[in-house]
Amino acid sequence: MADFGADVELETFRGEARAWLEANFPASLRGKAGEAMNLMEGGTPAGDLAAWRKRLADKGWTTPTWPTEYGGGGLSVLQARVLQQEMDKVGAFNPIHSVGMGITMIGPTILDYGTPEQKKRHIPPIVKGEVRWCVGYSEPGAGSDLASLTTKCEDAGDHWKVNGQKIWTSGAQYADWCGALVRTDTSKKHEGISFLLIDMHQPGIETRPIKLIAGASPFCETFFTDARAAKDDMLSDLNKGWSVGKRLLQHERASQTGAGGMGGGRSTPLQDMAKSYVGVDEAGRIADSDLRTRVARHLMDTKAHGLTIARATAEARGNANPGNAASVLKNSATNVAQTRSELTLEIMGHQGLGWDGDAFTSDELQTVRGWLSGKAMSIYGGSAEIQNNIISKRILGLPDATQST
């Protein structure tokens, strides 16, 4: 845990947060963040989970750093981190943080680029968890080279008309709204792109789920056929969507810097799992010395990643805007999470080969699926190679090798 020093104001806030959690977080939900994960697949909360979501949202703490005038908590970055620490201590969780892409990507981008009317209309429902958003960027012919996108948006007088196809649209089958990059001028590449907010509940949109290697269908092909968007649902100006799109990606990458991610990790510490599966030597250490060295190296990398995040948060102070450094942290988080997954599977030996059946515990089966789905970490939000390009170009100032994001 980061030491923020003897900051009296922060410690006062810590006391307030602790007392509020004590009074409002239902004990029945302690450590049950998994129940919120079920909401990702279109579920509606009930009972204590519904009550907890409402209390946290009414307090503005589902989006702690967002402005209070749009329903957010108005906290500084450091206060938000203290709140998270206090939530972790009592096993509390944010029930809507990962439900759709409103909190992590679309909301922050609307706050950065939206008009006051757009913020008033779209931000409060995100804070309350009432709407789900998806992000429509990738197309069959536009992934890393995103600016090649062709989904066409025309001015149809009283509305925008959209035709084309997106792919890999996470959660599109459950989403109420889509933040999409569309082509509004075919004569220019980057300067011919606009950012449109599109209501998903209309006949002109069809979603077809795609199965991922780990068995779930978290994303879709999304088809737009004469789909409509209101004239005032364009974010920023016509043909100025590329800058908006890049900012959203920075928010996305910043939200993916936690190394817990989809790495398939189990709550048991890796070293304990290694001792249990592989055995111990006479000194009580992991019996296999090569494995022991690699586990130790991984634990040091994990610690270094955590400390780097804490330092970046402390240095950012009031500034919640991510920059290109999000690319460094995203790659680092991916390395840590994927290495942990690989080591976990290796430690489990043949127990790490299960897909279903009684020969494996549910933890073991989950680990295998987590290992598979964790492969996606180095692809979504822009692949690891694209992050390296951004780091070399925008942080290290090396020559421009790509026209990508």
Ligand X SMILES: Cc1cc2nc3c(=O)[nH]c(=O)nc-3n(C[C@H](O)[C@H](O)[C@H](O)COP(=O)(O)OP(=O)(O)OC[C@H]3O[C@@H](n4cnc5c(N)ncnc54)[C@H](O)[C@@H]3O)c2cc1C
Place of tokens 């073991």: 364
Q: Nearer to ligand X by C-beta: 76 or 207? A: 207
Q: d(Cα 66, Cα 76) in Å, to the nearest integer?
A: 9
Q: d(Cα 345, Cα 366) in Å, to the nearest integer?
A: 11
Q: Nearer to ligand X by C-beta: 287 or 379? A: 379
Buried b (16+ CB within 10 A) or exposed e, 20-51: bbeeebeeebeebbebbeebbeeeebeeebee
Token duo for residue 133: 């958003």
Least Å distance, CB 328 to ligand X, is: 16
Q: Which of 191, 221, 252, 342 is catalytic?
A: 252
Q: Nearer to ligand X by C-beta: 111 or 249? A: 249
Least Å distance, CB 403 to ligand X, is: 8
252 part of the active site: yes
Strand pairing category for 193-199 and 177-183 = antiparallel
In the complex, which residue's CB is closest to ligand X?
143
Q: Nearer to ligand X by C-beta: 60 or 143? A: 143
Q: d(Cα 134, Cα 232) in Å, to the nearest integer?
A: 19
Least Å distance, CB 57 to ligand X, is: 24
* Residue numbers at the binding site for ligand X (CB under 6 A): 134-138, 143-144, 168-170, 219, 376, 379-380, 382-383, 385-386, 389, 402, 404
CA dihedral 162, 163, 169, 174 (to 10 degrees): 60
Q: d(Cα 193, Cα 289) in Å, to the nearest integer?
A: 55
Q: d(Cα 285, Cα 373) in Å, to the nearest integer?
A: 31
Q: d(Cα 388, Cα 95) in Å, to the nearest integer?
A: 33
Least Å distance, CB 370 to ligand X, is: 13
Q: d(Cα 300, Cα 181) in Å, to the nearest integer?
A: 40
Give the other-Cβ count within 10 Å of 264's Cβ. 24
Q: How far is CA 11 from CA 15, 63, 82, 92, 264, in A?
A: 6, 21, 9, 19, 34
Least Å distance, CB 181 to ligand X, is: 8
Q: Nearer to ligand X by C-beta: 45 or 143? A: 143
DSSP symbol at 404: -
Q: Nearer to ligand X by C-beta: 76 or 170? A: 170
Q: Nearer to ligand X by C-beta: 89 or 211? A: 211
End-to-end CA distance of the chain: 33
Q: Nearer to ligand X by C-beta: 98 or 383? A: 383
Least Å distance, CB 112 to ligand X, is: 19
Q: d(Cα 237, Cα 114) in Å, to the nearest integer?
A: 10
Q: d(Cα 84, Cα 76) in Å, to the nearest integer?
A: 12
Place of tokens 């990508």: 404
Least Å distance, CB 101 to ligand X, is: 7
Least Å distance, CB 384 to ligand X, is: 7
Contacts of 154 (CB under 8 A, 6+ apart): 160, 161, 184
- Residues with a catalytic annotation lie at 252
